Amino acid sequence: MEVDLPEVVAEVKAAFDTYEKALVTNDVETLDALFRQDPRTIRYGATENLYGYGEIAAFRAARSPVAVNRTISRTVITTYGRDFAVASTLYERPSAPGRIGRQMQTWVKFPEGWRVVAAHVSLMEEPKK
């Protein structure tokens, strides 16, 4: 198993960056396109558990576009072979002062491109320094 092949990491980073831009601009069409259209795709959010692409797309369609801006940090993308990757990042939102967000995504490369098949988003109190 080859881990972190540079060209594969670059592909996943490009998909991740596209997702991040779509997220902060509330580009629902792009967000939907980057999740695998499959009933086995799962997204655990800060306040919701979404099972299947249909529930995820319905959540995105109903989500308020207010306060979606955020700053990410400590992003780590690890690839395993040429078709599997995990992207992890921390984020902060002005609308959630004193809290730090965590996001993990499992990406798989399909004939149509890289797609998220599982995602987890959570918030916690910012650790004391």
The alpha carbon dihedral of 39, 84, 60, 50 has a sign of positive
Banded model confidence at residue 126, pLDDT cuts 50, 70, 90: confident
Residue 63 has what pLDDT? 87
Task: Give 21-44 pLDDT, tens digit per residue.
Answer: 999 999 999 999 999 999 999 999
Residue 52 lies in domain: 6-125
CATH number of the domain bearing residue 116: 3.10.450.50
Distance from the first to the final alpha carbon of the chain: 38
Q: Is residue 1 part of a domain?
A: no
Instruction: Please list the residues that pair with 118 across neighbouring strands.
Output: 42, 106
Residue 12 lies in a domain: yes
The residue type found at 61 is A
Q: Cβ(57)–Cβ(48) under 8 Å?
A: no
Predicted confidence at residue 119, as pLDDT, reads 98
Query: Structurally, how many domains does the chain consist of?
Result: 1
pLDDT in tens, 68-91: 889 999 999 999 999 999 999 999
Q: Could you tell me if residue 61 is inside a domain?
A: yes
Please provide the average confidence, as pLDDT, over all residues in the chain: 95
